Each structure stands twice: as C-alpha cells, then as structure tokens.
Amino acid sequence: MDIPILDLRGDIEANWNEYNEAIRRVLSSCQFIGGPEVQAFEEELKKYFNVRHAISVNSGTDALTIGLRMLEIKPGDEVITSPFTFFATAEAISNIGAVPVFVDINLDSFNIDPTKIEQKITKRTKAILPVHLFGLPAQMDEILSIARKYNLKIIEDCAQAFGAEYKGKKVGTIGDIGAFSFFPSKNLGAFGDGGMILTNADNCAEVGKMLKSHGSRKRYYHEMLGYNSRLDAIQAAILRVKLKNVEKANAHRKLAAQRYNNYFKNLNEIIIPKEYEKSSHVFHQYTLRILNGKRDKVRKNLAENGVQTMVYYPIPINKLPVYNYSEPLKNAMIAAQEVLSIPIGPTISEETQKKVAKKIIESL
Ligand SMILES: *Cc1c(COP(=O)(O)O)cnc(C)c1O
C-alpha cells in the first residue's frame, strides 16, 4: 500500500534517538518487569489525568477484565455495553462470567445511545461499560445519571480515546474506572502490548494491584485468583517518551480531521464524523459513512489505488456466534454497512490527505 491507514514511521523517525535512549536505559538497569520505568510512567499518568491511581497492565483487554473485577462484577451479573466496538469490550465481560447486554448506538456518534439504556436494566444489571469509540467521548452526563438512579457502576472503555475530554474532564476519570490500551496503533501506543486502569477509589485500586500480580500483595502470599498482567519496562520507557508528545499528536489528528471535513462536507453520499460542543474528539479513527450501498465499492477502488482503509466494524458484536442471544440492533447494523475509516495519524501530511480525498470522491 502506498498510503497505509496508520503510518507510525514518521513518529519513530522524529524521536529515534529518544526511543533508543529509553530502551538502553532499561537494558542498563536489567529490570524488565516493573521497576523504576514503570513506576515513573504510572506517576506521570497520575499527573496527566489528575487521578489517585494509575495501574499499568499488560493490555487493554486486561484493563477491562481486571477493571470489571475491581468493581466486583460477578458471574451472572449483567453489564450494559455497545454492540459496535472491538470484540475485547464484550469478551472481557464474558470471560469473568458476566453477561454483556447490548444497547444500540446513536448513528451520529457511533456510541451507545443513552436513551435506550433504561429499558435494558434488570435486577441483575451491575454496571454500564460505555466505549468512547474512534476517540469521541460517549454521552457521559446521561450515562452518569442513569447509573446514579439505578446504583450501577461505570467502567469506561478508553482504548481509542487517550486524551479525549468530556466537558473539560479527561475520559477515564468520569466513571468509577477507566480502561486504556497501549496497543501500537492507539493514540498512545507502545511498541508491543500494554494497558492501564485509572481509578480514584483506594480500595478498588488495591484489589487491582493484587489482581495484576497473581492476586498477591506480597510475593507468594496469594489472597485471590488473579492474572499475570504487568507492563514491561521497555514498553513503559517508550510510553514515557510518547506521553510527552501525545497532546501534540492528538492536535495533529484533529487538524487532519478538519482538513478531511473540508474536502467532504458538501457531498450527498458522505457523512463526516460528528463533533459535539461538550467533548473533544481525538480522532483515533476518522470514520465516514458512505451512503447508498457504495461503501464496499469505494473501499475496493481505494485499495486498487494504493489507499488502505478499514471497516471498523463489519459485524456488530451481538451478531457474532458467541452472542447469538441478543436481538439485532438497527443502528449498529446500519453502521456496519456504511462505515469506512480512512488514513489518519500523528504525522499525516496535507498532501497525503488530498490524495486520499480525491480518490474517495472519484470512487463514489
Ligand atoms: C484496542 C481495544 C481494546 C483492547 O485493547 P488491547 O490492548 O488490544 O487488548 C478494547 N476495546 C477497544 C474499544 C479497543 O479499541
């Protein structure tokens, strides 16, 4: 592909020496799991988010799994979530024995529709797990007020929204727990797997720190069944370099999104990503809706012209075989047919975007 959906090379080249220096520091220390780099990274995250606890883990999936257990979600409990997200969101719920209950999305935001949550609440509902999809915060005011009314916990899936804000507050610090992924393609991406849990609740944090380390506070004194889910020091050292630049990288994504908006704004068959006054979108993905059944044709044409695009996501999660108990949800089905994510990233150039836009418009 001439134009990949995400080009990380620009960032790596721009910070080559700093990344090398970070890796060398870890090699010299001979501390590969935990240690000073991981500690320093967690401290920097606490400052960045202004929260009491930032617990690094091995992946975003683990952040969700451990986060749910920190909230004492038990087998048989129901957790309300979006059907239009990466599989791991629901998988984490199921893997602890709880049951994902899917609520349809709003087609403008691709996020869970709060007006449809209450009708899905039962005696067994224990939590709501909103996803800030593509970097756009979910409607947290509405979700918070439902959670308060029914005494539910909130765990935010922030895997795609590092740095995004809702009414001036960073996502991940609005609910009880924030779960983040440092998968390489995410807005704060490592050079391998990684993840993080945020919380302000001290007791919850204590459980989280135990769970990530085989259920023990002190080595060999295991108090519960946990996981092996620690961030390695090389990733922490890399992420510390990335964290310094993440605001700049997010600003670049925003600028790139505005450029695309200008190219596409007056076309009948394309709907550009919606933005809201209350929230800042960090454009993990720039996702169009291509109308009139033309999405696949456009995608094929772009591929033939060397432009990589992705369909996030071709099948709503509740339509996958493991979740065949769920009824079809209309907007999630429509989104799956219409969405097209196009190249965006921390260093994408105007020239590249112009080429992409031109090809898209020609393909309609
Ligand atoms: C990436 C992602 C995850 C999982 O993160 P990993 O670090 O890959 O385990 C979970 N939820 C969403 C919405 C994601 O995009």
Candidate from 160, 181, 230 with most ligand 1 atoms within 8 A of CB, to mutate: 181
* pLDDT given for residue 201 in this prediction: 98
User: Cα 90 from chain centroid?
Assistant: 13
Q: Which atom of ligand 1 lies at the shortest distance from residue 92's CA?
A: 10
Q: Which residues pair with 196 in a beta bridge?
A: 56, 180
End-to-end CA, the chain: 21
261-306 residue pLDDT tens: 999 999 999 999 999 999 999 999 999 999 999 999 999 999 999 9
Q: Would you state the pLDDT for residue 151?
A: 98
Dihedral Cα 238, 240, 242, 248, nearest 10 deg: -170
Q: How far is the CA of 159 from the centre of ligand 1 (A)?
A: 5
pLDDT in tens, 296-351: 999 999 999 999 999 999 999 999 999 989 999 999 999 999 999 999 999 999 99
Q: How far apart are the C-alpha atoms of 76 and 78, rounded to whole Å?
A: 6
User: For residue 182, which atom of ligand 1 is closest to its CA?
Assistant: 7
pLDDT digits (tens, 9 = 90+) for 188-229: 999 999 999 999 999 999 999 999 999 999 999 999 999 999
Q: Is-contact 93 100, C-beta < 8 A?
A: yes
Output the CA 157–ligand 1 centroid distance in Å: 8
Pocket test for ligand 1, best of 89, 134, 212, 229 (most atoms within 8 A of CB): 89
Q: Which of 150, 151, 101 is nearest to 130 (CA)?
A: 101
Hey, whose CA ends up nearest to atom 6 of ligand 1?
Answer: 60
pLDDT for 1 beyond 70: no
| Model confidence pLDDT, tens digit, residues 93-122 | 999 999 999 999 999 999 999 999 999 999
Per-residue model confidence as pLDDT tens digits over 153-182: 999 999 999 999 999 999 999 999 999 999
Q: Which of 272, 265, 294, 293 is nearest to 344 (CA)?
A: 272
pLDDT tens-digit series, residues 7-24: 999 999 999 999 999 999
Distance 179 CA to ligand 1 centre (A): 9
Rounded Cα gap, residues 268 and 271, in angstroms: 8
Q: Pick the atom of ligand 1 nearest to 62's CA.
A: 9
Residue 329 phi/psi, 5° resolution?
A: -120, 120
* 309 CB-near residues (< 8 Å, 6+ apart): 5, 299, 302, 303, 340, 341, 342, 343
Question: pTM for the whole thing?
Answer: 0.98
Ligand 1 atom with minimal separation from the 160 CA? 15
Average pLDDT rounded to a whole number, residues 50-73: 98
Q: How many residues does the chain have?
A: 364
